[in-house]
């Protein structure tokens, strides 16, 4: 090992040591006379490298004399290089006399052992304290290839344990954790993903690397990327956040190429029918998410390396909470509607009030179509419906009665309202295309207000007779009607039918 020449203030002169046996490790000494030429440059470079190390390092020659001592060793034990270099052994200054022999013996054994030898020792600090360190000792070969000394790198055990715990935690999170963990870089591209997260994103661990989140998420990707950018700029939020997302389907591009509107022929499914061709969208998922900003510990100023996104799927829990809240709200609305309808003298007004309360948080528009009595003696081949009440076509409002004059609504034979009346059940309908021209055409063909994207028609029956159909409509800003909505609509329809049964039916 080439002897480094440290550029430090000269310490008080010491008696010069003998050169020692051939091949021994030269001592690191600030008082040694400077030399010129390449050797001087190599010594300065070695001294700079030793002082810049994150680990403490000391070296001994074959006699056990300290030849090197860097700044990290000075920080841990308090002894400067000027005080440590040149001392023989560690007894009395860096180790207790009772422990010094065992410590030196185990360190010097590294000269005859292959590889590195790991030990833990209790060393003394300059102020008299004790510190537990973990050492890695290895032999230093001389010019002839034989061991000429030992170098020893050491660090405080608690710091080493902290590092090992951090590494173990990282490996556990990225391998065995039940939580989903995704690491994204500063460009918001996936850098690392654990097995749980790969399953949640419906991809493989290696297939996800380097890809943007938009290739896995459809709806909600803007919210996720906005949260990641916020964490990169300002740090992690103080509490978890819940993000609703929809996963992107592999065959989504094929679905987007399909054109046309839904027809109104559905398949029977109990009392609830849907138009053929309507497909359930990819289910929304609720991910309870936490974020951590990752910064490099090797720079003076923190440099963001990316963000750790840790999330858990709580869709089932949130769905139950939402369903419970929805049921409580709808139950309260039905109770309030019944009390308000009981104060109405006009049965038609009572039916309209029932719809007004039902619309809150449920639909944007509502229609009441009553069955027109067939003329005698020959009945018509199909049911005819007359508009009896409707909410305004513009902004949502109350559902006042309409004087139709007994003229039937020009519904097509396959209209959902006629299907509901004929089959005494409910029919759901939704437009497959959300672009404005197609949606407008779809609503106009069914005689529904402009902007309608989802419809739910439920039959009105009382005392074993079909009185008409009530229709609830939603715009494209709302989700499609589901089975729970159909059940609620049938409950409302039963109350509306009871009120309408008290009034005169149109002739």
Q: Under DSSP, is residue 189 helix (H, G, I), strand (E, B) or coil?
A: strand
Q: Is the pTM above the cut of 0.85?
A: no
Mean pLDDT along residues 384-389: 86
Residues 6+ apart with CB under 8 A from 206: none
Please give the pLDDT value at position 9. Answer: 38
**Whole-angstrom Cα Rg for the chain:** 41
Q: Which residue has the higher pLDDT, 126 or 254?
A: 126
Tell me the pLDDT band of 374, cut-offs 50, 70 and 90: low
Q: Under DSSP, is residue 455 helix (H, G, I), strand (E, B) or coil?
A: strand
Q: What percent of the chain has pLDDT over 70?
A: 80
- Tell me the C-alpha distance between 148 and 21, whole Å: 9
Q: Is the pLDDT of residue 36 over 60?
A: no
Smallest CA-to-CA distance from 419 within 383, 460, 380 is with 383
Spatial contact of 10 and 31, defined as CB atoms under 8 Å apart:
yes
Residue 505: CB atoms within 10 A of its CB come to: 15
Please give the pLDDT value at position 434. Answer: 66
Q: Is the pLDDT of residue 39 over 70?
A: no
Tell me the pLDDT band of 190, cut-offs 50, 70 and 90: very high
- The alpha carbon of residue 286 and the mean position of all alpha carbons in its chain are separated, in whole angstroms, by 9
Please give the pLDDT value at position 443. Answer: 86
DSSP state of 88: B
Helix (H) or strand (E) holding 246: strand 241-246
- Tell me the C-alpha distance between 184 and 416, whole Å: 48
The two tokens of residue 248 are 């992107």
DSSP secondary structure of 181-202 = EEEEETTSBEEEE-HHHHHHTT
Please give the pLDDT value at position 435. Answer: 72
Q: Under DSSP, is residue 362 helix (H, G, I), strand (E, B) or coil?
A: coil
Q: Is the pLDDT of residue 12 over 70?
A: no
Average pLDDT score, the chain:
80
Mean pLDDT along residues 64-92: 89
Please give the pLDDT value at position 394. Answer: 66
Per-range mean pLDDT, top range of 111-115, 276-280, 390-394: 111-115
Mean pLDDT along residues 260-268: 37
Q: Is the pLDDT of residue 75 over 50?
A: yes
Sign of CA dihedral 421, 423, 428, 430: negative
Per-range mean pLDDT, top range of 176-180, 305-309, 500-504: 305-309
SS (H, E, C) 294-355: EECCCCCCCCEEEEEEEEEECHHHHHHHHHHHHHHHHHHHHHHHHHHHCCCCCHHHHHHHHH
Pick from 22-26, 436-440, 467-471, 489-493: least confident: 22-26
Mean pLDDT along residues 218-232: 92
Mean pLDDT along residues 14-19: 38
Tell me the pLDDT band of 409, cut-offs 50, 70 and 90: confident
Please give the pLDDT value at position 40. Answer: 60
Residues 6+ apart with CB under 8 A from 315: 283, 284, 285, 286
Tell me the pLDDT band of 181, cut-offs 50, 70 and 90: very high
Tell me the pLDDT band of 121, cut-offs 50, 70 and 90: confident
Spatial contact of 224 and 243, defined as CB atoms under 8 Å apart:
yes
The two tokens of residue 428 are 């759901």
């Amino acid at each position: 090992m080439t002897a480094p020449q440290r550029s430090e203030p000269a310490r008080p002169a010491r008696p010069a040591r003998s050169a020692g046996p051939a091949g021994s490790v030269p001592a690191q000494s600030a008082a040694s006379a400077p030399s010129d030429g390449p050797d001087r440059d190599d010594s300065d470079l070695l001294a700079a490298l030793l002082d810049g190390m994150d680990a403490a390092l000391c070296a001994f020659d074959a006699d056990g004399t300290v030849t090197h001592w860097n700044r990290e060793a000075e920080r841990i034990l308090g002894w400067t290089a000027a005080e440590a270099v040149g001392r023989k052994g560690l007894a009395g200054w860096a180790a207790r006399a009772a422990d010094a022999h065992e410590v030196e013996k185990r360190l010097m054994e590294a000269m005859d052992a292959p590889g590195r030898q790991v030990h833990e020792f209790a060393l003394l600090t300059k102020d008299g304290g004790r510190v537990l360190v973990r050492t890695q000792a290895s032999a230093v070969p001389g010019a002839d290839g034989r061991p000429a000394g030992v170098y020893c790198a050491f660090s405080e055990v608690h710091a080493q344990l902290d590092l090992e715990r951090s590494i173990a935690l990282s490996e556990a999170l990225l391998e065995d954790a039940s939580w989903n963990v995704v690491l994204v870089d500063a460009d918001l591209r996936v850098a690392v993903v654990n097995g749980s997260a790969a399953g949640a994103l419906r991809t493989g661990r290696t297939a996800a690397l380097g890809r943007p989140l938009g290739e896995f998420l459809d709806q909600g990707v803007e919210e996720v990327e906005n949260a990641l950018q916020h964490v990169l700029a300002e740090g992690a939020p103080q509490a978890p956040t819940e993000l609703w997302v929809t996963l992107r389907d592999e065959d989504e591009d094929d679905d987007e190429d399909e054109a046309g509107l839904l027809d109104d022929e559905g398949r029977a499914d109990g009392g609830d029918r849907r138009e053929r061709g309507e497909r359930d969208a990819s289910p929304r998922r609720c991910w309870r998410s936490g974020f951590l900003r990752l910064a490099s510990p090797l720079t003076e100023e923190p440099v963001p390396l990316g963000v750790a996104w840790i999330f858990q799927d709580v869709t089932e829990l949130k769905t139950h909470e939402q369903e419970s809240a929805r049921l409580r709200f709808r139950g309260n609305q039905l109770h309030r509607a019944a009390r308000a309808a009981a104060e109405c003298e006009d049965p038609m007004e009572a039916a309209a009030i029932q719809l007004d309360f039902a619309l809150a948080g449920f639909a944007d528009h509502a229609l009441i179509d009553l069955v027109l009595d067939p003329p005698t003696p020959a009945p018509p081949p199909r049911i005819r419906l007359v508009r009896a009440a409707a909410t305004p076509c513009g902004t949502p409002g109350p559902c006042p009665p309409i004087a139709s004059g007994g003229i039937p609504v020009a519904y097509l034979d396959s209209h959902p309202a006629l299907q509901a009346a004929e089959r005494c059940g409910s029919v759901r309908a939704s437009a497959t295309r959300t672009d404005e021209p197609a949606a407008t055409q779809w609503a106009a063909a069914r005689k529904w207000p402009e902007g309608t994207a989802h419809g739910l028609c439920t039959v009105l029956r009382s005392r074993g007779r079909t009185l008409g159909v009530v229709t609830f409509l939603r715009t494209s800003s709302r989700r499609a009607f589901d089975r729970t909505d159909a059940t609620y609509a049938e409950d409302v329809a039963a109350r509306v039918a009871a009120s309408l049964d008290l009034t005169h039916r149109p002739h």
